Chain A
Amino acid sequence: MLKKLLLTTTALALSLSLAAPAFADPTVIRLVSKDLLSTNPPDVAHIERIEAALKAQGTDLDIQIVDLPSSGYADALGVMLLSGDIPDLIYFQGGDAKMADQGILEDLNPWIEKSPNLKAALWPHNVERLKNYPYLLYVYPPRAPQPVIRKDWLDKLGIAAPTTVDEYEAFFKAIHDADLDGDGTPGNTFGVTTADNTNELDSIFNQAFGITGTWMKDAAGEWVNSRITDQEKAKLTWYAKLGAEGLYDKEYVTSKFDVKEDKFYTGKAGVIFGSSAEVIDIYGGKMRQAHPDANIELALLPIPSGPGGQGLSATDVSKESRGFAIATTSQHKEEVAKLLDFMASTEGQMMDRMGFEGEEYTKSGDTYTITDKMSTWYARFFAAANFVPPVEWKSAAAQESLKNITTWFKPDNAFVWPSDYAADLDATENVYRAWVYKFISGEASMDQWDAFVAEWKAAGGDRLNEYARTKLNG
Chain B
Amino acid sequence: MSSVEQNATAIASVSGNVPISRRVANGIRRWWPYYVMLAPGLLFFLIWHYFPIWEAKMAFEQVRIIPPNLWVGLKHFQTLFASPVFYQVLANTLIISTLKILFVFPVPIIVALLLNEVRSGKLRKFVQSAIYLPHFLSWVVIAGIFIAILSPSDGAVNQITGLFGIKPTAFMTDGNSSRWVLVFSEIWRSAGWDSLLYLAAIIGIDQSLYEAAELDGANRWQKVWHVTIPGIVPTIATLFILNMGMFLSADLNQVINFLNDVNRGQIDILDTYVYRIGLRTGEYSLATAAGLFKAVFGMILILSAHFVSKRLTGKGVW
Contacts and interface: CB of A to CB of B under 8 A. Distances in A.
Chain A bound to chain B: yes
Contacts of B268: 430
Nearest to B86: A423
Interface in A402-437: 419-420, 422-423, 426-427, 430, 433-434, 436-437
Contacts of B79: 420, 423
Interface size class of B (residues with CB under 8 A): 20 to 34
A75 to B, nearest CB: 6
B281 A423 contact: no
Given A81-B65, A102-B66, A430 B280 contact: no
Question: Interface residues of B: mostly helix, strand, loop or mixed?
Answer: loop
B121 to A, nearest CB: 42
Nearest to B67: A84
Interface in A45-104: 74-75, 78, 81-82, 84, 86, 94-95, 97-99, 102-104
Interface string A308-348: 00000000000000000000010000000000000000000
Contacts of B261: 196-197, 253, 430, 433-434, 436-437
Interface in B240-289: 260-262, 264-265, 268, 273, 276-277, 279-284, 286
Interface size class of A (residues with CB under 8 A): 35 or more
Contacts of B235: none
A253 B273 CA distance: 19
A349 interface: no
Nearest to B82: A423
Interface string A107-151: 000000000000000000000000000000000000000000000
Contact of B65 (A97, A99, A420): A99
B264 A430 contact: yes
A78 B279 contact: yes
A236 to B, nearest CB: 14
Contact of B282 (A86, A95, A253, A430): A95
A454 B65 CA distance: 40
Contacts of A433: 261-262, 264
B182 interface: no
A35 interface: no
B262 A104 contact: no
Nearest to B58: A82
A430 B283 contact: no
Given A99-B282, A196-B261, A434-B261, A427 B85 contact: yes
B152 interface: yes
Contacts of B84: 427, 459
A146 to B, nearest CB: 23
Contacts of A74: 280
Interface string B49-67: 0000000000000011110
25 contacts: A78-B279, A82-B65, A84-B65, A84-B66, A86-B65, A95-B281, A98-B281, A98-B283, A99-B282, A196-B260, A251-B152, A253-B172, A253-B262, A254-B260, A420-B79, A422-B277, A423-B83, A423-B85, A426-B273, A426-B277, A427-B83, A427-B84, A427-B85, A430-B265, A437-B261
Instruction: For the complex of A and B, list the 4 residue pairs with the smallest distance between their C-beta atoms, beginning with the closest.
Output: A98-B282, A433-B261, A423-B83, A95-B282
Given A86-B65, A422-B281, 12 more contacts: A81-B65, A95-B281, A95-B282, A104-B65, A251-B151, A251-B152, A251-B170, A253-B261, A422-B286, A423-B82, A426-B277, A437-B262
